[in-house]
Amino acid sequence: MELNENARIDTSQVDDRRGSGGGGGGMGIPLPGGGGRGGIVGIIIAVLVALVGGGFGLNAATGGGGSEQGDNTSLDQKCSGDQALQELDCRNTLYVNSIQAYWRKALPESFGDQYTPSKTVFFSQAVNTGCGNADSGVGPFYCPADDLVYIDLSFYKLLADQLGAEGEFAQPYVLAHEYGHHVQDLLGTEAQMRRQQQRDPNNANALSVKLELQADCYAGAWAKNATGTADADGQKIFKSITEQDIQQAIDTAEKIGDDAIQKRSGRPVNPDEFTHGTSEQRKQWFTKGYSTGDPKSCDTFGNG
């Protein structure tokens, strides 16, 4: 993969909350100790998510999300300089630009819906979100309540060191998967799935798997079309994406399959606990999106 050094990196699509310190030490820990109280907080947070996600969108309307705003000053500086493409955060910003450029076109074309952009929040260690407090341990995620993607970029190191998913194309794959959730949010697929889960709790995990596999498939559709994406001035974002890059994405999808992760953590493989899909499924759905290049082919719910 080669990025185009002439592409302008649009840092307004990310919110850099790494430097702001996030209000200091206690963040990310809703309540100290007390098992029982912790459970109650969990429920309260879940209720809040349900309310905000249920259509009020108080925070989403202002685009601010969460409860804080980052500071992009140093990122802006870095990403407009000559060495921008040497920097992990600038490269990731450019991936976000490409993914959103793709959906701006693909969502109206494929589903007849307008695409509403979503920022990616860079955080370190812990962050306040519209879905509650989160720490890096949960991995990158999308919060439907504030319409934001969250990532601690050190996740990639964990992905490489602990899960063996090396190769840079793992990074845009991960981001494209999270933006797949944003698209599901825009299309109402996510809300529909949550309602189904409530009606049919025994199938909650199976339904989650379908949602996750669809996000993998959407990531594949982006990958197929990524070389066609451009910045605001029409400069191509990627010079090239090779078969080897695609193989890295597929390899990553395999490495983060539920069965692979269970095995790696020394637990017995238990299909009832699958929430994201097996290695085989994840690989298969990414590949489907990639081979068709068409997000409409990502009908994981229909094929269930």
What is the C-alpha to C-alpha distance for residues 142 and 71, in angstroms, rounded to an integer? 20
Number of residues that bind Zn ion (CB under 5 A): 2
| Residues in region 222-261 near Zn ion by CB under 5 A | none
Taking every pair of C-alpha atoms in the chain, what is the biggest distance, in angstroms?
Answer: 55
Give the strand pairing for 148-151 and 120-122. parallel
Residue 289's closest CA among 235, 253, 236, 239? Answer: 253
Nearer to Zn ion, 219 or 237 (CB): 219
| Residues in region 188-217 near Zn ion by CB under 5 A | 212, 215
Q: How far is the CB of 117 from Zn ion (least distance, A)?
A: 19
Residue 8's closest CA among 76, 72, 58, 70? Answer: 76
What is the C-alpha to C-alpha distance for residues 265 and 286, in angstroms, rounded to an integer? 24
Which 3 state secondary structure label does DSSP give 236?
strand
Binding mask 132-151 for Zn ion (x = CB under 5 A): --------------------
Nearer to Zn ion, 27 or 213 (CB): 213
Q: How far is the CB of 212 from Zn ion (least distance, A)?
A: 5
What is the C-alpha to C-alpha distance for residues 243 and 156, in angstroms, rounded to an integer? 21
Q: How far is the CB of 45 from Zn ion (least distance, A)?
A: 19
Nearer to Zn ion, 3 or 209 (CB): 209
Q: How far is the CB of 257 from Zn ion (least distance, A)?
A: 12
Nearer to Zn ion, 3 or 215 (CB): 215
CA angle, residues 152, 155, 161, in degrees to nearest 5: 160
Q: How far is the CB of 288 from Zn ion (least distance, A)?
A: 16
Nearer to Zn ion, 142 or 238 (CB): 142
Question: Which chain residues interact with Zn ion by CB under 5 A?
Answer: 212, 215
